[in-house]
Structure 1
Amino acid sequence: MNDLTGVTIAFDLDGTLVDSAPDLIGTLNRMLAIEGFAPVPLSSARHLVGHGARALLRHGFAEAGATWDEAARPELFDHFIADYVAHIDHLTRPFEGVVETLDALSARGAILCVATNKRTDLSETLIGKLDLARHFAVVAGPDRVSARKPDGAHVIEAVQLAGGDPARAVMVGDASTDTGTARNAGIPCVVCSFGYGDVPPEQLGGDVTIDRFADLPAAVDALLLRR
């Protein structure tokens, strides 16, 4: 296999590395219950995940036929974060093949980092509880960089914080925020079809689409050959 020394791979978190929807939607539904609204089904709410906690609350409340007004009820956001932290790893697990694939990429010399719209502290807590922290040189939520996805600065700065070169980087994600980030940063993107994408994977505009995480090394190799 090709040496990946000097190549940085930046990963989205929710819907790419981990299946976190059950815990996030669980917290959303507990917030809805507090306000007297019915829960939203996990099967129809997975697409809400991946854009940050405020977006999840705003769109989740809308799907329940309610309105989330942070200005009127600022404490609800704090309740959401506290509840989520308490349940952050109850049902969340890495997708199949994630651990083995990250080990394989690291063994080939790749630098690995996380570029997520989830707050850095929450991301690091989750990654630590799932025993994934050893894989990543840096975890960069929007509060650790100058912009949030889909602004290309997010992934560029994450790669730089990891000690990598954006000119030799690949983005891996599952949604339009990820492909948009990669496009804005001028780097190639691998789309994971098994995540929480808000549009069909083939319409996201990625460079390569994979159906299993184990297919990622071959996809990265193919992208590097094109370049």
Structure 2
Amino acid sequence: MRLPDTVIFDLDGTLVDSAPDLTGALNHTMRTIGLPEIGAGDVRHMVGHGARALIQKAVTAAGTTIDDAAFDAAFDTFLDYYADHVADLTTPFPNVLGTLSFLRDQGVKLGVCTNKPQRLADLLLEALGMEHWFGAIVGADAVEHRKPHAGHLTATVDRLGGDLRRAVMVGDSQTDVDTARNAGTPVVAVSFGYSTVPAADLMADRLIDDFIQLPEALAALIAHK
């Protein structure tokens, strides 16, 4: 099976189901600032643009606004709580670990490109014992421009020593698809993530329902390049 030189993964909603812990941190923050909690199902559709965007969406959903100072304080509250509970309920999606093992054994370079802050991405992957799979983990604040800017993806490939011409992005959202398009790389979307629209509507090059399908999808993309 001919596979890409490099595969770059989104984190939340792609590799791991982190929505339960993100919901816990968000609702702790909402209680702290006196606003109503957000349902877990709704939080799944708010994830993907980083913690600040998540909090802003929750405040907007509550039908109100808060000033900059209050927002900054809420952001700090979220980060502190989430750092302490980053992997209480978060788990890898089914067949993720086996698929990562297979790809690495085939010599594929693996990286993570996430809009999570670097510290939280590192904490989460370390807590789950997953950091060793990846030659580069690049959070939103580790680059000048984060996803969907192409530079976030290209920086991840560069840190791996990978080949952008033989790289593939794997994600769950419009942000991930746009990132890949901006960088000129093929993209695989997962159907089980946190997209705000049906995954089929993301118009990725391939759509998978389970990570066990990923190697075949990657091979098909490389065969067409």
Query: TM-score with structure 1 length normalisation?
Result: 0.95
Q: 4+ residue stretches of structure 1 with deviation over 4 A? A: none
Q: Residues of 2 paired with 1:68 and 1:166: CA distance?
A: 42
When residues 93 and 70 of structure 1 are mapped into structure 2, their CA distance, relative to the original with a 3 A threshold, is: farther
When residues 40 and 155 of structure 1 are mapped into structure 2, their CA distance, relative to the original with a 3 A threshold, is: same
1:117 to 115, 120, 138: 115
Aligned residue runs from structure 1 range 102-141, under 5 A = 102-141=100-139
Is residue 27 of structure 1 aligned with residue 2 of structure 2? no
More deviation in 164-173 or 72-81? 72-81
Amino acid at match of 1:160: D
Give the aligned partner of residue 199 of structure 1.
197
Give the aligned partner of residue 164 of structure 2.
166
The answer (yes or no) to whether the contact 1:57–1:68 under 8 Å persists in 2 is no
Amino acid at match of 1:163: G
Percent identity reads 46
Aligned residues: 225
Give the aligned partner of residue 38 of structure 1.
36
Contiguous gaps of at least 5 residues in structure 1: none
Give the aligned partner of residue 143 of structure 1.
141
The answer (yes or no) to whether the contact 1:145–1:158 under 8 Å persists in 2 is no
Query: TM-score with structure 2 length normalisation?
Result: 0.96
Cα RMSD, aligned residues only = 1.2
Is residue 223 of structure 1 aligned with residue 221 of structure 2? yes
Contiguous gaps of at least 5 residues in structure 2: none
Q: Residues of 2 paired with 1:95 and 1:141: CA distance?
A: 20
Amino acid at match of 1:119: P
Q: Residues of 2 paired with 1:68 and 1:86: CA distance?
A: 25
More deviation in 137-146 or 60-69? 60-69
Query: How much does 1:147 deviate?
Result: 1.2
